[in-house]
Amino acid sequence: MSDSLSLPTLPVAGQQPAGPVLGIDLGTTNTLVAVWQDGAPRVLSDPSGEALIPSIASFPADAPPVAGRNALDRARLDPERTIHSAKRLLGKGLADLEQERRLLPFRLVEAEGRERVEIDLGDGRRVSPVEVSAQVLAEARRLAAGALGCDPAELERAVITVPAYFDDAQRQATREAARLAGLEVLRILNEPTAAALAYGLDRRGAGRVLVYDLGGGTFDASLLQLDEGVYRVLATAGDTYLGGDDFDRALSDLVADDLERRIGRRPQELDPAARTALRFAAERCKKELSAAEEADFVFHDPAAGLAFRATIGRDRFEAAIRPLVERTIERCRQVLRDAGVEPADLDQVVLVGGSTRVPLVRRQVEEAFGRPPADAIDPDRVVALGAAAQAGVLAGQSDGMLLLDVTPLSLGIETMGGAVSKLILRNTPVPARAVEGFTTFVDGQTAVKLHIVQGEREMAADCRSLGEMILRGIPPMPAGLPKIAVEFTIDADGLLRVRAREERSGAAAEIELRPKHGLTDSEVENMLKSAWDHAQEDMDRRRSADLHTQLQTVIRSVEKNADVVRRELAEAARSRLEEALEDAREAGPEDPPDRLKGLLDELEEAAYPLAEALMNRVAAEAVAKRRLDEVLDNGKGV
Ligand code: AMP
């Protein structure tokens, strides 16, 4: 098979259906949805201006499920069927969740036949964490439709963020939840990467970025490295039970003695409703302390006849939470140690999560890493804004292609003689699409084998074989006549789809492959290095393969016209051609390119008289035909 025509490689982005792509920060506690609009990312809110969607779904016994703010109210009424924190459960089995199990007010059970957890709603029904997340995502989609003034059905595509440490099962579960909510996921994006994108750090060339993410219930530290426009996660560490909730608890503990003295009970002796009220009081006071040197801790529960007020200074609060903050700094140091990076080598530290508003947190981070952290963007919104920035690129709305994820190695197919025709080159941003035309090499060929390979080497045998497919059903035609369009498309997750179609007959075949599967970074590096090391040798082999293929084509066409050679060529021309043909037949694809080039030149030159004879024949036939036509025309005229 040899190339017959080739078309340029086109990014798919501009060809996708119109309509915004949603950027969704699917959080443990709250979810935010944003879009790219008028050249900037924007977080969307409901008609009352509220952007936070509580990540909660409720499944009433006698009504359809509700999610978000509507489900929040149901938490008190119907706690068994109102599910929060589903993100902690995604992609997990019961055995993974010993710690969570004790803290959650609903019942976790093992799903039948699958090592996945489900929630028993207590009325004979069960829901999976995927279904709960799907309800939250559907709510995000509804809110977005309301804010954008369109039908939810018009919002079909999304970028969804997940923690960097999420494994394949957790990412897959997130994707499934989106599908249930009617959303196609164009990209699962790491939360720290989204934060770096929101700050445009990729454009500013910030190479090493530490993302410090302290939310309500979790802490994550991630170290990112920017390589040729692509953020890679070098290391992560965290604590799935450390966050603002612990600050609230520390603050409640500060007033515990006072509380006991005044109302005769310690926090843990209060009933659940009063405990919730106390938690809210602590959170309110904590937030005020982020802006003021002192704040009132005001707790009252009229139903229980309780009222309490105390003034707390920021220094007391800071002393109480210092050990917690130090734990987060230690985790960050761990991340740097794991990656062998010194604090001085960091280009930027980015703050994410509502709890980074606490002044002590900022001070400690600045002290530990010797620079003020990036904090200009609302730390609650930065991930959603980054997701929208990425969505803008994927929707083709934002100009300036962000090289976020690229093909690590070139992808192509094996052509005649064992050479590789590369359709998608290494470092092409995904999603990507390329089409190239091929044809048959042998007369009457009815099937073509396509061998799909990955790598930088010139010969297929030196590349990584990804798979094969056979295109059958091509009607017998002379070599070179069939038009076979081979199309490679890679989606944003790196899934490669290869389609081949013979245009005259419509014969088609298709295969799906996962190119990156099973390749580690060091394997990719080795493949690149071997391509470098063998560059000259590879180029020679490729040239040899191509020249040998061309030689075969000329040999065949001479052989096809053997009778013309015999009858019409002069003795000298004939014997030169026969000699050249003889030498050419002996050549192999492993011969050095210079020898093959010499043989090809000689054969083409020796075949020149044959070409002339054939042309004369064609011309003579045309003249004869014209004469005949004239005779016939004249005849008609009579
Ligand atoms: P997130 O999970 O990122 O939404 O973070 C929520 C946490 O941030 C909760 O524990 C909030 O109490 C906390 N938070 C939000 N605003 C502030 C503030 N101004 N000062 C201190 N903590 C805050």
pLDDT in tens, 452-462: 998 888 899 98
Of ligand 1's atoms, which has the minimum distance to the CA of residue 354? 8
Per-residue pLDDT band at 612 (split at 50, 70, 90)? confident
The CB density around residue 604, as the number of other CB atoms within 10 Å, is 16
Residue 379 has phi, psi (to 5 degrees) of -65, -15
Q: What are the boundaries of each domain within the chain?
A: 22-243+321-405, 244-320, 409-518, 535-619
Q: How many whole angstroms separate alpha carbon 627 and alpha carbon 637?
A: 15
**Section 469-494 average pLDDT:** 88
- Per-residue pLDDT of 355-374, as tens digits, reads 999 999 999 999 999 999 99
Substitution candidate for ligand 1 out of 28, 214, 355 with most atoms within 8 A of CB:
355
Q: How many whole angstroms separate alpha carbon 229 and alpha carbon 427?
A: 10
CATH class of 409-518: mainly beta
Q: How many whole angstroms separate alpha carbon 103 and alpha carbon 283?
A: 20
535-619 has CATH 1.20.1270 classification: yes
Distance (Å) from CA 379 to ligand 1 centroid: 9
28 lines ligand 1 (CB under 6 A): no
CA distances (Å), 513 to each of 14, 316, 463, 475, 510, in order?
Answer: 23, 59, 15, 28, 10
Contacts of 425 (CB under 8 A, 6+ apart): 9, 407, 410
Residue 636 above 60 pLDDT? no
Distance (Å) from CA 53 to ligand 1 centroid: 15
383 lines ligand 1 (CB under 6 A): no
Residue 531 above 80 pLDDT? no
Per-residue pLDDT band at 536 (split at 50, 70, 90)? confident
Of ligand 1's atoms, which has the minimum distance to the CA of residue 283? 12
Burial 345-371 (b: 16+ CB within 10 A, else e): ebbbbbbbbbbbbbebbbebbeebbee
Distance (Å) from CA 68 to ligand 1 centroid: 18
pTM of the model: 0.65
Residue 348 has phi, psi (to 5 degrees) of -160, 145
Q: Which residue in this structure is represented by tokens 């993302």?
A: 211
Residue 637 has phi, psi (to 5 degrees) of -70, -20
55 lines ligand 1 (CB under 6 A): no
Tell me the residue ranges of DSSP E strands in 279-345: 294-301, 306-313
Which tokens go with 542? 């490729």
Per-residue pLDDT band at 4 (split at 50, 70, 90)? very low
Name the residue at shortest CA distance from atom 21 of ligand 1.
287
- Per-residue pLDDT of 95-146, as tens digits, reads 888 877 877 878 999 988 777 899 999 999 999 999 999 999 999 999 999 9
Question: Which CATH code, of 3.30.200.20, 3.40.1160.10, 3.90.640.10, 1.20.1260.10, is assigned to 244-320?
Answer: 3.90.640.10
- Per-residue pLDDT of 510-528, as tens digits, reads 988 876 544 555 666 677 6
CATH superfamily name and code, 22-243+321-405: ATPase, nucleotide binding domain (3.30.420.40)
Q: How many whole angstroms separate alpha carbon 497 and alpha carbon 90?
A: 28
Q: What is the pLDDT of residue 137?
A: 98
Q: Are the beta carbons of 429 and 398 closer than 8 angstroms?
A: no
Tell me the residue ranges of DSSP E strands in 251-407: 294-301, 306-313, 348-352
- The helix or strand, by DSSP H or E, that contains position 67, with its residue range, turns out to be strand 66-67
283 lines ligand 1 (CB under 6 A): yes
Q: How many whole angstroms separate alpha carbon 638 and alpha carbon 633?
A: 9
Q: How many whole angstroms separate alpha carbon 18 and alpha carbon 341?
A: 43
Q: Give the 3-state secondary structure of residue 586.
A: helix
The catalytic residues are: 25, 87, 191, 213
215 lines ligand 1 (CB under 6 A): yes
Distance (Å) from CA 82 to ligand 1 centroid: 23
Kind of pairing, strands 496-502 and 484-490?
A: antiparallel
- Per-residue pLDDT of 580-605, as tens digits, reads 999 999 999 889 999 999 999 999 89
Name the residue at shortest CA distance from atom 18 of ligand 1.
287
Which of 257, 90, 239 has its CA nearest to residue 178? 90
Residue 13 above 50 pLDDT? no
Which of 421, 510, 423, 443 has its CA nearest to residue 470? 510
State the burial class of residue 400 (Cβ atoms within 10 Å of its Cβ: 0-12, 13-18, 19+): exposed
Q: Are the beta carbons of 513 and 490 closer than 8 angstroms?
A: no
Residue 83, CA atoms < 13 Å, CB-side half-sphere: 31
Beta bridge partners of 502: 484
Residue 68 above 90 pLDDT? yes
Name the residue at shortest CA distance from atom 20 of ligand 1.
287
